[in-house]
Amino acid sequence: MILLVLGLFGAALGIGGFAKLHSAERAAAQDFHDRLGPDSKVNVHMTPSGTATLHGDLAKVRVRAKDFSVSGLPLYLEPDAPRDGRIKQLEVRLERGRAKGFEIDKLEATLPEVRYDFRRASRHDGIVISACGEGTFRVELSAATMAKGAMKRDPALQDVHVTLSGTRMHLEGTAKFAFGSIPIEVEGILIARNGHELALDGARIKLSGKPVSQESASKLVGALNPLIDFDKDIGTPGMLTLLEVKSEKGRLILQGTMRLQERPKS
C-alpha cells in the first residue's frame, strides 16, 4: 500500500516540482482509502529532502489511517530492483481496524533507509521497494480487545472480561463443557514466544472458584495459547519479531523489530 504513495510523490516532483506535493498527498490518501476499506479514514504527509527530492530522495513519508480492514501488511522487498530512490524514514500508523479479521487498536511501524526504484515511480508506475533497514513496531490492544481475542481463540469461553497489570493478565468468564457452563478464572504472565507469538505462561485456573491441578490448567490454557500469532493472525510471516510485552494504563503493549520480506513468488 506504500507503493502508490511514493510513486505519486516521485512522479509529482518529476513533472511539476514541489507545487504538486499536496495533490500527490491527496491522491495517495485516496489510494490508501481504497486499499484499507470503505470505512477507512486516511491522511498522508510527505516531507521533502531539499533539492535532493528531485532525484527521489525523501526525508520522511507518514501515513495515518483509521477504521481499516486488511488481509495483512502488503509491504515487500524486490531486491533485484534499482535502488536509486531513497526514503530516510517511513512511518505508518494504523488505528481501530482489523488484519485478517484480528482486531487491532493501534499498530505503529517505523522503517529506516528505504530504497526504491525512482525511475519507475517517476513514470507513474508505483514504486518497488528494493532495500530497507530493520525497523521497529508497536502494537496496542485494549483489555476489551484481548477479551474478544480470547473468545475467538477458544469458542468454549463466553462473557470474558480481561484485566491487565504489568505483564500479568487476569481473565474471568464462563466456560462451556459437555456437562454445562461454569465460571472460570485464568491468571498468568504474558510472554513473547518463538519470536512471533504472545502466550500465557504459568497459568493458574479456577473453575467455580476452585483451583484445578497444574496438569488440568496446562490442558485448559492450551486452547488459548498462543493468544496471538503475528504470522497467522495478522498476516505478517517473518516480518515482525516480538521482543517486549508490557501494559500501560490497562492496555497491552507489544514491541519489537520489523524487517520487510521478499515478495512471495506467484
DSSP 183: E
Q: Return the CA Rg of the chain.
A: 22
Taking the model in full, what pTM does it have?
0.86
Specify the pairing of strand 85-99 against strand 76-77: unpaired
pLDDT tens track of the chain, all 266 residues?
455 445 555 554 554 555 556 766 776 677 778 778 899 999 988 788 876 666 778 899 898 999 999 887 767 898 999 999 888 999 999 999 998 888 999 999 999 999 988 887 666 555 678 999 999 999 999 999 999 999 999 999 999 999 999 999 999 999 998 888 999 999 999 999 999 999 999 999 999 999 999 888 888 899 899 999 999 998 888 999 999 999 999 999 999 999 999 877 76
Residue 258 C-alpha from the chain's centroid: 10
Classify 37 in phi/psi space as left (phi over 0), alpha (psi -120 to 50) or beta: left
